[in-house]
Structure 1
Amino acid sequence: MTYEQLLYTVDGPLATITLNRPERMNALTKVLEAELRTAIEQAGRDVEVRAIVLTGAGRAFCAGMDMEELEVLPPEDIQAEQWMRPYDMNRRADYQTRYSYFPAASKPIISAINGAAAGLGLVMALYSDFRIASEKAVVATAFAKRGLIAEHGIAWMLPRIVGHTHATDLLLTSRKIDAQEALGMGLVNRVVPADELMATVQALAHSLSTEVSPRSVGVMKRQLWEAPYQSLGEAITLANAEMVESLRSEDFAEGVAHFVERRPAQFSGR
């Protein structure tokens, strides 16, 4: 498939999606948003792909919504059908919203934050499973400085990642923070030199693709996203059911075999 505003490449088990509007700091347009969803869904369908990397071209990860497009965006567009069509009807209603294709993807998504991540750019990073930042990265919620509110679930997501105190600070002040402060808050997993960012992310993606069961990763990702809505008892009941299925899986048999035989794993994802 050909994309206009992003680059999509596959290298073995790794799909890399690069937001490609560097002259606009990869700010989102309707076209780019639609292409991003399509690209993540494409990676999800590809049986050879086991991890997805999201990054930005040039000096920014994503500066949020393109202000020129936002200026003429009708208020009712926020509920437009193109954004609200469901992702996975087996998931709860909470995960049928605009960026739910991130948690709906069974494969891990790694955001390689190479520069500025603001507004919706930060929201997308929060929906990712891993966030690795360049030492040059800067993040900001930005919404209050545009007369907006905490969009697309960030008021739910951010406190669960950094805690209520830090979330209140970042949302209400809209101040910019550097990569090290983001690391201290727990907003990102790791900070690395700019010239090591993609190598670090690719190493993580390779580990996720070859050293652990993709079936296990997919199930555990779903467990993590479902857990905030469950009691401990409900989480244990689900885990027990999934455990029975995992014991029947090819990947469980391979997990035992490669350990006993002291050889690299060859997980099938089944």
Structure 2
Amino acid sequence: MGDTDVLVRHERAVAVITLNRPDKLNAMTGAMSVAYADALREADADPDVRAIVVTGAGRGFCAGADLAVLNEGAEAIRKFVPAAENLPHLALRLRKPVVAAVNGPVAGIGFAYMLGSDIRFAARGAKIATSFSRLGLVAEYGLSWLLPRLIGTAPAVELLLTGRTVDAEEAAALGLVHHVTEPGDVLRAALDHAADLAAHCSPASLAAIKSQVYGDLERPLSQAVDHALSLMDASFDGPDLAEALTARDHKRAPVFAPLPRG
């Protein structure tokens, strides 16, 4: 893998992470998956970053594992599987919102990376597939847990069993993506959305809400309510509520403190 297979740049308090193997539709290698996870962690740790956008270079988002890996046999594939700390659901554990700009084809591990993002934009016509059943594989990377929770059991089972390809428009109807844009607009739309989060939302609130939503998937309602009440009580005395109310009174944008370096 080249040193530039994962690119990072910053725009308006947003870290933009780009998978950069356009000649391979950004298919992942083992080293590339490590670099991507490291880029996510560094963006999450950086106090100057308040939101993260992930996208692919060229005409694809991520077409899955590099075919060279798949063609080398079982041992090579086992070595490709990311370490536990680098698995695609890493993005769900970050403190900061992750917005995907799906500019083109998505399959396999790329599908898992897409679903690991909190908010998903897709270019009209982008092709999206799980692919696993058509390769003799299983629902990888915890997708049998995550996908039903995102779109419901029946559509999740259908997509995973068939491995069929859907376009961005059907993906939006299913709930796989939140917004569909014209092909040339997807990255800008995702960037603008992330920049709005960065400019107007409390970083502490965003971190707490992410932790609540994904944590509550495994908690009974009574525990989720108790946890929310505890967080609410702390937030009432917190500086961000006072700042939001002062900013509203003075008709200005709030100035929220950044998260400390993680």
TM-score under structure 1 length normalisation? 0.90
Q: Give runs of aligned pairs for residues 72-111 of structure 1, distance below 5 A.
A: 72=72, 74-75=74-75, 78=78, 83-85=83-85, 98-111=87-100
Distance 1:212 1:140 in 2: 33
- Gap change, CA 1:222 and 1:163, over 3 Å in 2: same
Shift of 1:24: 0.7
Shift of 1:158: 1.1
Give the structure 2 partner of residue 116 of structure 1.
Answer: 105
* CA offsets 1:59-102 (integer angstroms, 9 cap, x no match): 100001112112325459748996024xxxxxxxxxxx723421
1:169 to 158, 165, 190: 158
Distance 2:99 2:223 in 1: 28
Shift of 1:6: 1.1
Give the structure 1 partner of residue 68 of structure 2.
Answer: 68
Shift of 1:178: 0.6
Determine whether 1:23 maps to 2:23.
yes
* 8 A Cα contact 2:30 2:79, kept in partner: no
1:7 maps to amino acid: L
SS in 2 for 1:111: strand
- Higher relative contact order structure (alpha carbons within 8 Å, sequence separation ≥ 6): 2
Distance 1:248 1:98 in 2: 36
Give the structure 1 partner of residue 57 of structure 2.
Answer: 57
1:83 maps to amino acid: A
- Gap change, CA 1:81 and 1:54, over 3 Å in 2: closer
Distance 2:163 2:81 in 1: 30
Shift of 1:4: 3.2
- Gap change, CA 1:129 and 1:235, over 3 Å in 2: same
* 8 A Cα contact 2:89 2:113, kept in partner: no
Give the structure 2 partner of residue 88 of structure 1.
Answer: none
Shift of 1:172: 1.0
Determine whether 1:141 maps to 2:130.
yes
* 8 A Cα contact 1:27 1:62, kept in partner: yes
* CA offsets 1:108-136 (integer angstroms, 9 cap, x no match): 00010000011110111111100100003
Give the structure 2 partner of residue 92 of structure 1.
Answer: none
1:179 maps to amino acid: A
* 8 A Cα contact 1:251 1:269, kept in partner: no
SS in 2 for 1:18: strand
2:108 maps to amino acid: G
Distance 1:190 1:59 in 2: 18
Distance 1:4 1:151 in 2: 27
- Gap change, CA 1:163 and 1:75, over 3 Å in 2: farther
Of the structure 1 ranges 236-245 and 39-48, higher mean CA displacement relative to structure 2 is found in: 236-245
* 8 A Cα contact 1:5 1:31, kept in partner: no
Distance 2:166 2:208 in 1: 34
Distance 1:115 1:66 in 2: 16
* 8 A Cα contact 1:133 1:179, kept in partner: yes
Q: CA RMSD in A?
A: 1.9
Shift of 1:268: 1.2
* CA offsets 1:181-209 (integer angstroms, 9 cap, x no match): 11111110010101211221111011100
Give the structure 2 partner of residue 262 of structure 1.
Answer: 251
Distance 2:6 2:80 in 1: 22
